[in-house]
Amino acid sequence: MRVPSALACIAATIILSGAQAQSIAPPSGTKTLAATLNVYAFPGAGQTSTQQGQDETECYKWAEQETGNDPFQLDRLAAQQQQQAAQQQQQAQQASAGAGLKGAVGGAAGGAAIGAIAGNAGKGAAIGAGVGAIANSVRGQSKSQQAQQQAQQSQAAAKMTAAQITDFKKAFSACLEAKKYTVKF
């Protein structure tokens, strides 16, 4: 006798779960503003997707006013800074690698000219190549150090940008939570 009542409970559960599934809207395929920012907001008070979009827009504007940051512009700035840092590092490596050889060639030419006057062009070229390589290597190291400093400054700016984006997300999340959303980022 218990079997029919168990079947009735299962059937009722299936019917009710089907009714609940129909009330949930399928995903639209477009990301919400929050999801675009890698902030995930779940409506905790039965808000519709339209209401959630309005709430996210309001919270975006509020967070922008509170923090003074627009994360979409900050993302572009961070990408530019990372690209500049990579270019500066590459230039530093090229400057360091080519400086000694360039100096050796120039020094050898100058040394050969002086050696020719003194009567031994080969010995003068060898001495000039060594002196030129050392001198240009030192200059290349100076340029390399400058480029590395610039790269470090760009990296520091990128970290600052990341901190500004995090501050924005905190403000954005606080606003959404006040509107009864569960938020994670």
Which residues span the domain enclosing 96? 89-164
Measured CA to CA, the distance from residue 55 to residue 57 in angstroms comes to 5
pTM of the predicted structure, to 2 decimals: 0.55
Measured CA to CA, the distance from residue 71 to residue 179 in angstroms comes to 21
Q: Could you identify the residue written with the tokens 């010995």?
A: 123
Give the total number of structural domains in the chain: 1
Q: Which residues contact 64 (CB under 8 A, 6 or more apart)?
A: 70, 168
Residue 143 lies in a domain: yes
Q: Which residues contact 35 (CB under 8 A, 6 or more apart)?
A: none
Residue 44 lies in a domain: no
For residue 26, give both structure tokens.
């399928």
Measured CA to CA, the distance from residue 157 to residue 162 in angstroms comes to 9
Q: What is the pLDDT of residues 27-78, one digit of tens each?
A: 566 889 999 999 999 999 999 999 999 999 999 999 999 999 999 988 787 7
